[in-house]
Structures are given as structure tokens and as C-alpha cells.
Structure 1
Amino acid sequence: MTTGPLLYVCVRPQQGAAAAEYESFRTAMKLDESQLGRHDLVREPLPAEALERYRGFLVGGSPFNLADPESTKTDVQRRLEADLERIAARAAEGDGPAALFTCYGIGVVTRMLGGVVSRRYPEDTGPVTIQLTADAASDPLFGGLADRFTALTAHKEGTGETPAGARLLAVNDACPVQAYVVGDRLYATQFHPEPTTRAFTERMAVYRDDGYFEADDYDRIAGRVLAASVTEPARLLRAFARRFAATA
């Protein structure tokens, strides 16, 4: 584990994809490696002192699915989800570290809050339109973003209702809950805020045969991704860094 005021928590078994995701977060947030540490939660449990050591956590995506039956999950996935819930619960308390959970991570937070995660709300791989809610205007992170913007998604599960205790910040038609906040320190997004379009196509290549899209459609979908403009999601990450990393 490397250290910094913020910690990227890897939940991807594919180490190459995880390393690239870390770099995407770090670059989007304009942080150096001393400001954004990283921990591979797939291979190492969360250290007990982590929740006191860091000012904030960034949780990336994963090929795991929270809605899969518990009987089909590996011991690693169950342990990993328990550690993620510890991070989310601590951030929800409001007097400790902040956290931003993305894609797979929003499901962890939703379940912790008693919400339902299911395969009823998947989104195709590629660019989608995100619409902010009225509550987003006064939020410290989302308030500076455009009311409508393009982001990148690729997921097999989602939720149709905001979980109890959360304020809905962003929506779209295919997956109604795109972002929410709990208190003022726990954020979750269904869309990926960190990758450039080029980085996203490289991630698509890693997961080409994992059922997110037809493998033969890679070139067509990659073309749509590369043609998209995804400026606002990175601004969200920079706002998180300014607010929660004292050295950012």
C-alpha cells in the first residue's frame, strides 16, 4: 500500500486495468503519487488503521457484481465488499474521512443503506447523458458542473430508487440513480468520473470478452467513445480533491 492524504482503493482483479484506473484518477484530480495513495483490496484486506489515516477514499469499478447471489461469490469478493462497507459507513458518519464510490461501488453503498441493487438497470458501454437534479446546485462538488453533461458507463446492475438517507444528485433514463450524497462526505456515482475517452477504450479492451458488449462491436463502440467530450466528470474529481485533500 502506498500512502497519501487520499487513497485509491482497487477492486479490480486485473492488475493492469487497476494500475490504469489509478492513473486515471490521479491525472483527473491533478494529484501526484504523494497525494493519492493506492491499496489493492482484491489481494490485501483494508488495514485497520486506514480509516483514521486517510482524509478520503476513491473506490473504482470492478467486474464483480453486487447483485449476484451470495452463494456464487468468492471469499475474496465477500471480504472485499465488507471492507468497502466499512469505508462507506465511516464516511456516512460525517466526522471522519470522505469517500467517493463509483460504478460497482455505488451498489455497495446502496446495499449498506438498505436499497435494492438489481440487474434491471444496466447501461451499455459508452457515453451517456447525465442530468443533474435541483439538489445538485447547492452541493459543494456537483454545484459547479453543467446541468447536463456526457459521462462514460459500462455496468450490468443498478438501482431505480435513491436509498434512504441519500440526496439524489444526478439521473438519466436508463439508470435513474446516477449520483447521490449521504451527509456531506459520502458520494456515489454510477458513471465513471475518472477515465479519458482513450483510457476508457483501453479498459474496454481488457474486458472485451466479459459480457459488457459484443466483442465484435469493439471498434464501433470505441469510435463512439473517442468521439465523445467528457469534461465535467473530471471537474467533479478535482472538486473532491480540493475539498478533502489538504495538500491538493
Structure 2
Amino acid sequence: MSTYTRPFLLLSTRPEDEAAAAELASFLSAMGLPAGAIEQRRLERAPLGRVDLDAYSGVLLGGSPFNNTDASKSRLQLRVEREIGTLVAAIIDRDLPLLGACYGIGAIGTAIGARLSSRYAEDAASIELSLNDAGAADPILAGLPARFSTIVGHKEAVEHLPDAATVLVTGEACPTQMFRVRSNVYATQFHPELTAESLELRLRIYADQGYYDADELESILETAYAADYSWNRRILENFAARYAR
């Protein structure tokens, strides 16, 4: 990172200050970047405004309380979706570095015409996922084993993916866990930035949001703390190493 000159841009939509700060810290830690190497913009606080994509090494899109398939949407959610959708479309058009986690898979999927639904929703949990042949050959997944542990928790997922995308990682309960568009745009349904500690914080913040059964919290955490997420976080390390400028 000695030649690092441009930050990554993290787009966040979490209204809770603690959750937003933790999200930034998680990405910095997983990517092996120093403080200040990621510029966070909180879209729930203010409009995104103009983004000079040439000023950034790449763009990161974190999780969100919003779902693209929500039946009823507030004016805030509609604005956020419009702004993110416009930016994602521009990034895909230029094939610039982008990694969208969880909510990001819906935003990127929507931009390329994927069908989203609740069919493959997953409660918050630590699970194992698998690389397919395309994933094993992808530079962002370089060094990962055929199976690795990660963290999920989402109310919507990709039900059908168009040919414009290449699936890289699959799961049993949710088939499409990671895909690539063109050469440099990536989306994950799972959270490559999280650890057991950051998962616990997030679960306690969102205790009443329907991501898990409250009676199962201790069981979820016990499984999460027993897992090794070093391979999972390697994805963000690889993304930073490949694209940091």
C-alpha cells in the first residue's frame, strides 16, 4: 500500500451511528487499509451528489435496512435506490472496480436485470459456501479453498441471474452467493467484511428487524465464534490489493 493515493468510496445507508461506524471499521480491517483510506458517504443522511469516479480506487456498497423488493418504500428509500442505481449503472458501463455486499447484490443485480425475491432469504448465520470453477479462476478469490466460512443474513436474494453475470460462489440454501459483471464489478450475498464480533454487534443493533429468531441468538453466536473467517476476509484483501491506487 506504499503507492496508495486514492481512497475507496463506501456507500452506507444505515441510520444507526454505531452500525455505520462499525461497517466502516469492518471494511478497513478486512481490506488491511489504514484509517482514512476509505471515504464513507451515508446516503440516509444526505443526497449522494456528484461522484468523480476517477478520484477513487474503487467503490464499496455495504448492507442496508432497505430491500429492493420492499412492497412499500419511503421517499428516503426511493432516493437512495435511485442514486445508487444511477451510480452502479455508470460503474458497470465503465467496468470500474465495485464490490457490493448483501444489499449490494440487489443493487447490482437490479442494474443488470436480475430477478430478486424472498425465495432464497437466509436468517443471520455462519455458513459454508463453495467456489465453482469460475470462482476458483477469479483473481478476487485467489488463494481461497474450495469451501470457506462466512456470514449471511438477508430478506431477499437473486432468484434468476441474467447471462451478463458470472456466478463465482454458491450456497445450499441460497444458490447465488457471489457473481461478477464484466471484469471488475463484484457482488456478494454474504458479508466478507464481518467477523463474529462485528456480527454480534450488528445482531444486537438489529434485534427487532426480523433477521433472526431472538431465541436462537446464543446458538447463532456460538457457531459464529467457532468459525474461521480469514478466508472470507481474503476476498476484500484481494480486492484492495488489486485495485488500490
- TM exceeds 0.5? yes
Unaligned runs of 5+ in 2: none
Deviation at 1:198, TM superposition (A): 0.9
Residue by residue over 1:145-173, the C-alpha shift from the partner in whole angstroms, topping out at 9 and shown as x without a partner, is: 11110110011111133233111101111
Written as runs of structure 1 = structure 2, the 5 A alignment for 1:29-178 is 29-69=31-71, 72-95=72-95, 97-178=96-177
Q: TM-score, normalised by structure 1?
A: 0.92
Corresponding residue for residue 13 of structure 2: 11
Deviation at 1:30, TM superposition (A): 0.9
CA distance in 2, matches of 1:83, 1:74: 14
Deviation at 1:4, TM superposition (A): 4.7
* Letter in structure 2 aligned against 1:183: R
Query: CA distance change for structure 1 residues 38 and 117 in 2, over 3 Å: closer, same or farther?
Result: same
Question: Are 1:20 and 2:22 matched, yes or no?
Answer: yes
The RMSD of aligned alpha carbons is: 1.5
Unaligned runs of 5+ in 1: none
**What SS is found at the alignment partner of 2:126?**
strand
Question: Are 1:208 and 2:207 matched, yes or no?
Answer: yes
Q: Tell me if the contact between 1:158 and 1:190 (Cα under 8 Å) persists in the aligned partners.
A: yes
Query: CA distance change for structure 1 residues 237 and 12 in 2, over 3 Å: closer, same or farther?
Result: same
CA distance in 1, matches of 2:14, 2:6: 21
Residue by residue over 1:74-98, the C-alpha shift from the partner in whole angstroms, topping out at 9 and shown as x without a partner, is: 1111111122222321221245x31
Written as runs of structure 1 = structure 2, the 5 A alignment for 1:189-228 is 189-228=188-227
Q: Tell me if the contact between 1:129 and 1:149 (Cα under 8 Å) persists in the aligned partners.
A: yes
* Letter in structure 2 aligned against 1:24: S
Identity across the alignment (%): 38
**What SS is found at the alignment partner of 2:176?**
coil
**Matched length:** 241
CA distance in 2, matches of 1:224, 1:113: 35
Q: TM-score, normalised by structure 2?
A: 0.93
Q: Tell me if the contact between 1:115 and 1:164 (Cα under 8 Å) persists in the aligned partners.
A: no
